[in-house]
Structure 1
Amino acid sequence: MPRVLVSDKLSPTAVQIFKDRGVDVDYMPEVGPDKEKLLSIIDQYDGLAIRSATKVTEKLIAAATNLKVIGRAGIGVDNVDIPAASRKGIIVMNTPFGNSITTAEHAVAMMFALARQLPEANASTKAGKWEKNRFMGVEITGKTLGVIGCGNIGSIVATRGVGLKMHVVAFDPFLSESRASELGVEKVEFDELLARADFITLHTPMTEKTKNIINADSIAKMKTGVYIINCARGGLIVEADLVAALKSGKVAGAAIDVFEVEPAKESPYFDLENVVATPHLGAATTEAQENVALQIAEQMSDYLMKGAVSNAINMPSITAEEAPRLKPFVKLAEVLGSFVGQVTEEPIKEVEIVFDGATAQMNTRALISAALAGLIRPQVADVNMVSAPIMAKERGIMLSEVKRDKSGVFDGYIMLKVTTPSMTRTIAGTCFSDGKPRFIQIKGINLDAEVGQHMLYTTNADAPGIIGLLGTVCGQNGVNIANFQLGRNRPGGDAIALLYLDAPFPEDVLAQVRAHQAIDSAKRLQFDVGLT
């Protein structure tokens, strides 16, 4: 039974979901802020469910010897060292949709609060003053709203802006013209948004490209009297630059829900009357808190119990419905990669993965990750589907993918083409109705070979006596052959042999095979993918 630690405050209903789905769960929200305690027990768990209080550092990940999945109940994963988790093969999930509406509504509320100076007016009125002339606001209607980041939350804010009769311009490198038209917004470049917007709202994740995106230079390109709303991430704004602009009047007001350092017990924003500040309330509604807690419990349970992957930051998604059908082909892709990884001794420069027929309609991202894991594992034993794409990129391996309609007798197959400085190697395979992977082509030579845990692979010129040679050597040394497959490209041309063995091929016997003049090369292979 997989075991999960909930180290932050989560809904009791979420904890019950783990239990109902067969997961052993420990609810210990006091452990999240206690770094040393968490470090001392993390190796006992397969999953870690968190919010924002728990900091999943590289040190914690190194100690998490059994951890398979980290689930963040919420959208932000700034408190998780994702590269470290990926290198360790740990899936990191979040819930990007659970609090989208709530955060978007908070951004719109902050915009209204700025436009009508509501917090200051409220405080003044409650203090017994009646300063009606002091709090002169501005209308929202007819103004230009600039949305930086038009994903889940930004697109909701954009449609709310359209509903408020604002003209909405959006900057997002991934926003298509058709999607912009569907939302009723105008897609623009970053500098144009800065120049045109009366209100600017931030809804982009925190990355190296977006960090400090609002700074002295970008503020200088804005209209005088602009209003800025940030309910995304504190690091998107250089706080000192915005404070200076607020003091000078270049920026008329700012609404800040997120800060560079949280909790923000002190900030230069707090001394300014034209700043509305809230304590990271974007997702703070009863509905949102419940939604993200339930979602992360369901996602983590589905992965630990069924192998389904959803909303993962560092892993292709695999739905619970497609997991059973995809599983045999994930195994196949890993076997193909493993074959090439074991027989290739030179550095790999390029990998092309061809998906033919039915496989082209599958979740090819998952299949690619599996193939890369198999390819790299002979050199890096602890690689898996999560860490493999990162390791391939670090090694400078160029990756390409080809999808095509059915082109042969098989309903679908996968082919790997691997290029080294001196050669290109190809291998193809498929899965039959029994779900077991089979090799159907190696080096352009067709064959039908069952995959076994222990195998011997030889190449030679097509000539009489090879079957007898291999059979004799194995018989004389007590090596039992479970299956024997041959293939050639033409009579007298290149030929290959694949032997499925009951046990690993002994090293001294391998030396005998290699020493024979008829054998060009011989490799013993092992496939550790749950095969029997």
Structure 2
Amino acid sequence: MFRVLAADSIAKEGMAALEKESGVSVIYGSVEDVQDPESIDALVVRSATKVTKELLSRFHNIRIVARAGVGVDNIDIDAATQRGVLVINAPDGNTISTAEHTFAMIMAILRKIPQANQSIKEGKWNRSSFTGAELSGKVLGIVGLGRIGTELAKRARAFDSKVQVFDPFLTTERAKTLQVVPVSLDELLESSDIITVHTPLTKETKNLINTENLSKTKQGVYLINCARGGILDEEALYTYLSNGHIAGCALDVFVQEPAVENRLVHLPNVIATPHIAASTAEAQMNVAEQVAKEILTFSKGKPVKNAVNLPAVSNDDFQKIYPYYELAKVSGQFLSQSFSSPIKEIKITFAGTITELDTGLVSRGLLSGFLQPRVDRIVNDINATLIAKEQGFSFGEKYSTETQGYENIIEARVIGETESFSLQSTYINGYGPRVVNINGYSTDFVPEGFLIYIEHVDKPGVIGRVGKLLGDLEVNIAAMQVGRKMAGGEAIMMLTFDKELDQDVLLRIKELSDVVSATTINL
């Protein structure tokens, strides 16, 4: 009997696929109430239950944990992986509910509906105090065109709004298909009447909208955040809302929650909801149904679609292929950070004895490593190809006989609309992973740690100027690799550091004469 514990008030109707299956038993209740935790094979949770290392130790026969929702912050992924527990989620179940909530917030802030409602409940009839604005004819700026941003764009067009999008990875073809106008972040801020954010919260997107760039927005702009707290700088918001530059702000998420004491929510031109964008009966049903079907698939020994961590592979080939899988994952991360343009295609070529093995795992590892910093959900080896299709670019692999003198070589090439970027790497027994070529430049370095990739003119003194600058700033270089194609032409430097560098150091390097570009890469 495959026993499933459904905790955190999971919608029972959504678990019907499991309830009907012979050989599967579904138990409803909290983890604290289970008398025989060793009998549980699968655990379904929402956000209330914290799946910790200790809980997994107590339920030590669990083979799969399902989060009936998108975020997995309440699950210790590392602990689960170490115990061989597969973690899955339901990334698509609340797309519509969040998009609709965002749209409702836009309409509510434009028409001052919450304020008018409160006024009439207080016995007032001040019609002139609640003159609103129409969405028709307005410019809606969407930051991040993932699943939710895409659904929002569809609805906005139906209201005769002009939709413009800032998304560094949006291709021209996809923008044309979705009937949106791709723009830079500055252009979006300067020309949008309403701005809504739909990106994941990362180091790059934290305080993406801040004091400096809010000054570029229109007088009377409206801002919406139903994505993640922290994308909008709350201190900057308060200042611009208080001085009237921002006409109104609608917030469903905050840096610290519950946000009942947040001073933003008490401003008259702010409407707020308690992180409920995904809280609809339909969304809760959808996420329950998604994870129920995934658990049923898993119970039959088949691969699942929405795995968050890497499922164990027991065949003999796994031990042979795994070093290349890890190399490919890091190579994908390197490529993603090195190439910021929209993507049309990724090609991966294998040469050497690796072609005798199933390289599918390696390819998926590279793709998931590449995609993870670029999308607003967990990416893994199972769903990476589907997400690539969503993002509008193709992905393929082929075999070659050109090993460049190594036992095995993996080449990954990212092709954009106007440029491309290639990386060749290998794994040497006893030495580990190495990157041996970047964009045609021969090199040899370990792809790990904190790196800076510099393109420069091959002239005397350039390397010395970089070294002197870093020395003056008391920044220690752990390792350096250089490469060139011909004397006096273009050249590269790859510097490795013991810790992450401040952005002002990177800016100082970029300002040096004969330095063409400098990019930080953290692996």
* Distance of 1:256 and 1:54 partners within structure 2: 25
Equivalence for 1:268: 263
Equivalence for 1:51: 46
Q: For 2:75, what is the secondary structure of its paired residue?
A: coil
Identity %: 40
Equivalence for 1:7: 7
Q: How does 1:150-161 map to 2 (within 5 A)?
A: 150-161=145-156
Q: CA deviation at 1:300?
A: 2.0
* Distance of 1:42 and 1:173 partners within structure 2: 47
Residues 15, 176 of structure 1: alpha-carbon distance in 2 compared, 3 angstrom cutoff:
same
Deviations 1:387-430 (A, max 9, x none): 9xxxxxxxxxxxxx9932699xxxxxx99974246799xxxxxx
* Distance of 2:240 and 2:76 partners within structure 1: 33
Q: Is the 8 A contact 1:228 1:254 kept in 2?
A: yes
The one-letter code of the counterpart of 1:260 is V
Q: Is the 8 A contact 2:210 2:232 kept in 1?
A: yes
* Distance of 1:172 and 1:41 partners within structure 2: 49
Q: How does 1:66-215 map to 2 (within 5 A)?
A: 66-215=61-210
Q: For 1:306, what is the secondary structure of its paired residue?
A: coil
Equivalence for 2:219: 224
Q: For 1:18, what is the secondary structure of its paired residue?
A: helix
The gaps in structure 2 that reach 5 residues or longer are: 326-347, 368-379, 382-394, 402-407, 411-425, 434-523
Higher mean alpha-carbon deviation, 351-360 vs 67-76, is at: 351-360
Q: Is the 8 A contact 2:321 2:357 kept in 1?
A: no
TM-score, normalised by the number of residues in structure 1: 0.60
The gaps in structure 1 that reach 5 residues or longer are: 32-36, 319-326, 342-350, 370-385, 388-400, 408-413, 425-532
Q: How does 1:29-40 map to 2 (within 5 A)?
A: 30-31=30-31, 37=32
Q: For 2:129, what is the secondary structure of its paired residue?
A: coil
Q: Is the 8 A contact 1:200 1:229 kept in 2?
A: yes
Q: Is the 8 A contact 2:86 2:309 kept in 1?
A: yes
Q: CA deviation at 1:269?
A: 2.4
Q: Is the 8 A contact 1:352 1:418 kept in 2?
A: no
Larger Rg: 1
Q: Is the 8 A contact 1:4 1:49 kept in 2?
A: yes
Residues 228, 306 of structure 1: alpha-carbon distance in 2 compared, 3 angstrom cutoff:
same
Q: For 1:234, what is the secondary structure of its paired residue?
A: coil
Equivalence for 2:25: 24
Residues 196, 289 of structure 1: alpha-carbon distance in 2 compared, 3 angstrom cutoff:
same
* Distance of 1:281 and 1:274 partners within structure 2: 20
* Distance of 2:84 and 2:364 partners within structure 1: 14
TM-score, normalised by the number of residues in structure 2: 0.61
Q: Is the 8 A contact 1:212 1:236 kept in 2?
A: yes
Deviations 1:200-250 (A, max 9, x none): 112112233323323323323322321111111223233233222211212
* Distance of 2:432 and 2:258 partners within structure 1: 57
Q: CA deviation at 1:164?
A: 1.5
Q: Is the 8 A contact 1:119 1:276 kept in 2?
A: yes
Q: CA deviation at 1:335?
A: 5.1
The one-letter code of the counterpart of 2:28 is Y
* Distance of 1:251 and 1:339 partners within structure 2: 52
Equivalence for 2:398: 404
Q: Is the 8 A contact 1:42 1:64 kept in 2?
A: yes
* Distance of 1:337 and 1:42 partners within structure 2: 36
The one-letter code of the counterpart of 2:8 is D
Q: Is the 8 A contact 2:14 2:286 kept in 1?
A: no
* Distance of 2:322 and 2:156 partners within structure 1: 53
Q: CA deviation at 1:59?
A: 4.9
* Distance of 2:365 and 2:196 partners within structure 1: 38
Q: For 2:254, what is the secondary structure of its paired residue?
A: coil
Of residues 290, 306, 312 in structure 1, which corresponds to 2:301? 306
Q: How does 1:480-499 map to 2 (within 5 A)?
A: none
Q: CA deviation at 1:150?
A: 0.7
Q: CA deviation at 1:46?
A: 3.2
Residues 155, 367 of structure 1: alpha-carbon distance in 2 compared, 3 angstrom cutoff:
closer
* Distance of 1:274 and 1:423 partners within structure 2: 57
Deviations 1:7-37 (A, max 9, x none): 2111112344323333333211x44xxxxx4
Residue 230 (structure 2) pairs with residue 235 (structure 1):
yes
When the two structures are aligned, how many residues end up with a matched partner?
363
